[in-house]
Structure formats: structure tokens, C-alpha cells
Amino acid sequence: MEHVAVSPWVMLAYLVAGVCFIIALRGLSSPESSRAGNRAGMIGMAIAVITTLVTHDVASLPEIGIAIAIGGAIGFVIAKRIAMTAMPQLVAAFHSLVGLAAVLVGAAAYLNPEAFGIVGATGEILTVSRVEMGLGVAIGAITFSGSVIAFLKLNGNMSGKPIILPARHFINLGTLAAILGLIAYFTQDQDPWVFWTVTGLSFAIGFLLIIPIGGADMPVVVSMLNSYSGWAAAAMGFTLHNTAMIITGALVGASGAILSYIMCRAMNRSFISVIAGGFGGDAAAAGGGTAIDRPWKRGSAEDAAFLMKQAEQVIIVPGYGMAVAQAQHALREMGDLLEAEGVTVKYAIHPVAGRMPGHMNVLLAEASVDYDKVFELEDINSEFARSDVAFVIGANDVTNPAAKTDKTSPIYGMPVLDVEKAKTVLFVKRSMGGVGYAGVDNEVFYRDNTMMLLADAKKMVEDIVKSMG
């Protein structure tokens, strides 16, 4: 049985679905067009699903309906309930499902190749389809197990500290070589053991690749797994000869790869060094050490309120610590009060301020901060010199001037926010002892124009709001 001739209308329908997905991503170029884009994505998905159902002899429609209803209900409830701070975990969990679905589809295609039209004249699976299937299952399995580890690390079920196995590079490269070798062998011999060994080894390598990567590098990992989930979908699209899947897979693959690149650049880390792992556990204790010995100034909520009310422009620099303390709503209230006093308030976001790309923007949007007051690093960095107050809350490494001057610093070369150029820096921090992810002391604490506001972020902002009233 050769490939079943497919009606051009069916191919056209899948192409339209693919175009809808391109429009969905294109919509995200601005918040105004984004919701229309998201709707286009939904329409594309509906077209793809309906086209598939009407063009196949569906022997099990009730079961399929129930499966969609169960999955849909679970997805919908999770989407409605999830806290915005937990977005990175959710995305990791969703990636794992795409990966596992790809593995299951690949396995189903292996067990029932006739249904997928990939059987050659000899009754065996077509050679090219075997390669595509093998790659799809391998990438899917890596996406699944890698995402599960990323989820556990982000969700706090597993320590963010890197887990370093001895000779891990040797083990990992060996496993990868074995997977590729077996996929090559699969073209010669479609025995079940080859297929299932590829699947099993791929699950193992996904696990091994992510455990040595520390909490600080999770934004890169989540983006990378995003990319993998796309490539898995594309590989399955090759197996199924389905344009919608191929276009989508390429889009998602490209998207994840670009986001990984942006995150690496923002941390001045090379992709290879992130993959190699071992960097940055949760609140690393190494380095610095001399934190308490140098003189620094402590301020009160009243001092902060007074300084900011007198200011012409205040730039707020939020970091993940702000989100952990759930201070975003109090912060927005503070911003509103300042604006009522005629102060210009802007927000400066470092690309790695949150736990995933764009995370901080979502958290501020949730607190109803207008998005046109929120600026990216390169757009606002020149403005600190013209600002009266830089209000740093829950951020640390991303403000450290050592990244610009100290060649020995582990964060040297990382782009940072020039907060020290503002007339006054108000630095909200829980205590003087703790250091950021990179485990380095921050020069900004000891500068003459810095006032340390030592307290829980939310409590401090609430006190400032009270003092302003």
C-alpha cells in the first residue's frame, strides 16, 4: 500500500491552519493585536482537528470525544486557577505533555503504520519514515523527561542545586551517540527492541541533561525545552506528511531557540556552558563573604516616601524577589500615589528578572501596571542618570556594577541596569547577608547615594504607601 492520495482540499485546510498559527505569533508583536492573534491560533487548531476527523474513517468517535473533554476540562481548570508566579512551572508541565504526546503518537505509528499510510510495497515501514519516527520519538522523550525535571526544580519539589554526576559529559555523549546509532540501525531492522531502546534511552538522556543545570539557568532551560517540543511536533509532521504540524513545529522550534538565545545573552552565558550545567543553585552561598564589614546607610519607609515624593522621576526595578514577596500590588499602589503627586514613574525590566522570558512583565500586568510604563533594559538604561530615584526591589545581580568593571566577577560582561547613576538608589532587601544567584556582593549597597531599606519587600512597600498618605 503506497501513500493514500490526499485531496488537495485537505492539504489546503492544513495549510490554512498553519497560516493561522503564524498569525497567532505575529499578533504578539504588540499587546493591542495579541488577543486577535490568540483567537487566530484557536481557529487554526479547530480547523486542524476538524479536518482530521472528517477525512478519516473514525471508528471510535465517542472515545475521542471523551478524551478531548477530559483533557480540555483539566487544561481549562488549570489555566483559570494557576497563579501568575507559577507560570514557569506550568509551561514546563505543558512542555512535558507535548513531549509525551509525541512519543505516544510515534509509538502508535510504529504499532499501526497502515493507519498513517507509511507502509511500503514490501509491507515494512518506509525507510524515510523510520528515521522521522525515530527522531520524533527521541526528541519527544527528551522533551518529556527534561521538562519533568525542569518542572520539579521550578516548583520546588527538587532542589535548584545542580546535581553533578561524575563523568556526566562522557555518559551524555555516549547515550546521544547510541540513540543516533540505533536510529540509523532502525532503517535496516525495524525490530521492536530497536524502537523501544531508542525511546528508553531518550527518556534517560532528557533526565541526565537537565539535572546538572542550576536554578539560575532555568529560564534558558524552559526556552530550550519549548524549542524541543516544536522540533518533536515537526518530526511527527514529517512522519504524517502534515503541513500544519510541520509549519507549527518550525515556528515553535524557532521561537524556543530565539528565546534561549535572548536569555543566554542577558546572562552573558554561552548556550554550551548552560547545557554543560553546574552553575548557580538556589541562593548560592559561595563567593562574596565580606558583606557586612563595609559601611552602608539604612533608611526607613518614611525616608523613602519623602525622597520619592520630592522626585521628578522614579524608576522602579523589580526582580523575582518582589514576586516571591507578592509585593506587585502594593508596588502599583505606591506608583499610583507617586503619580498623583506629579512624579513620573517608570518600570525597568531586566530580561532575566523573572524565572522565564517576559515573566516580570506578566506579573506587573497582573497588578494592573500600564504596559507603556514598563521598559526593557536597553530602552531605559540611559534614563537612570536623569532620574532622582531608582527603587530596586527584589533584584540584585541585574543591578551589580561589577558586571561592567570587575573582570574577575562571575557575572562580568552581563548587561546590567545602571541604577547607581540615579541621584538616589533605594534598595529594598530582606537583610544585608544574602546574595543573589551568582553569589557575589553588590557594590551598589555601599555607595554614598544608596539607602538600604531592609525588610520584607511587601511590608516595606506597604509602609511606604502608609507614610505617603
Partner 1 sequence: MDFISILSIFVLACFVGYFVVWSVTPALHTPLMAVTNAISSVIIVGALVAAAAGGSPSAKWLGLAAVVMASVNIFGGFAVTERMLAMYKKKERK
CB of 413 to partner 1, least distance (A): 20
**Hey, what's the cell of 444?**
551598589
Distance, in Å, from the CA atom of 119 to the CA atom of 117, rounded to the nearest integer, reads: 6
Q: Is 29 in the site for partner 1 (CB under 8 A)?
A: yes
CB of 4 to partner 1, least distance (A): 11
CB of 416 to partner 1, least distance (A): 17
Helix (H) or strand (E) holding 374: strand 374-376
Distance, in Å, from the CA atom of 428 to the CA atom of 321, rounded to the nearest integer, reads: 10
Angle 343-347-351 from CA coordinates, rounded to 5° = 165
Q: What is the DSSP letter of 215?
A: G
Catalogue the E-assigned strands of 203-246: none
Please pick, from the candidates 137, 148, 150, 236, the single residue that binds partner 1 as defined by CB under 8 A: 236
Q: Is 111 in the site for partner 1 (CB under 8 A)?
A: yes
Residue 347: closest CA among 301, 392, 303, 400: 392
Contacts of partner 1 in 252-281 (CB under 8 A): 252-256, 258-259, 262
Q: Is 414 in the site for partner 1 (CB under 8 A)?
A: no
Q: Is 432 in the site for partner 1 (CB under 8 A)?
A: no
**Hey, what's the cell of 314?**
522614579
Contacts of partner 1 in 343-372 (CB under 8 A): 349, 351, 354, 356-359, 361-362, 365-366, 368, 370-372
Single out the catalytic residue among 397, 418, 441, 463: 397
Catalytic annotation present for 397: yes
CB closer to partner 1, 27 vs 280: 27
Stretch that binds partner 1, among 24-32, 323-331, 396-404, 419-427 (CB under 8 A): 24-32
Q: Is 200 in the site for partner 1 (CB under 8 A)?
A: no
CB closer to partner 1, 312 vs 339: 339
Interface mask toward partner 1 for 291-320; x: CB under 8 A: ------------------------------
With CB under 8 A, what is the number of residues at the site for partner 1?
A: 117
CB of 258 to partner 1, least distance (A): 5
Contact by Cβ (8 Å): 354, 363: yes
Q: Is 407 in the site for partner 1 (CB under 8 A)?
A: no
CB closer to partner 1, 24 vs 398: 24
Contact by Cβ (8 Å): 295, 446: yes
CB of 246 to partner 1, least distance (A): 5
Q: Is 244 in the site for partner 1 (CB under 8 A)?
A: yes
Angle 287-293-298 from CA coordinates, rounded to 5° = 110
Stretch that binds partner 1, among 100-108, 302-310, 319-327, 449-457 (CB under 8 A): 100-108
Q: Is 41 in the site for partner 1 (CB under 8 A)?
A: yes
Contacts of partner 1 in 49-78 (CB under 8 A): 49, 52-53, 56-60, 63-64, 67-76, 78
**Which residues contact residue 323 at a Cβ distance below 8 angstroms, ignoring those fewer than 6 apart?**
85, 354, 359, 360, 363, 394
CB closer to partner 1, 163 vs 240: 240
Q: Is 102 in the site for partner 1 (CB under 8 A)?
A: yes
Q: Is 180 in the site for partner 1 (CB under 8 A)?
A: no
Q: What is the DSSP letter of 287?
A: S
Contact by Cβ (8 Å): 389, 315: yes
314: β partners:
345, 389
Q: Is 34 in the site for partner 1 (CB under 8 A)?
A: yes
Contact by Cβ (8 Å): 422, 389: yes
For 43-75, b/e burial (b = at least 16 CB within 10 A) is: bbbebbeebbeeeeeeeeeeeeeeeeeeeeeee
Task: Give catalytic residues, as residue numbers.
Answer: 397
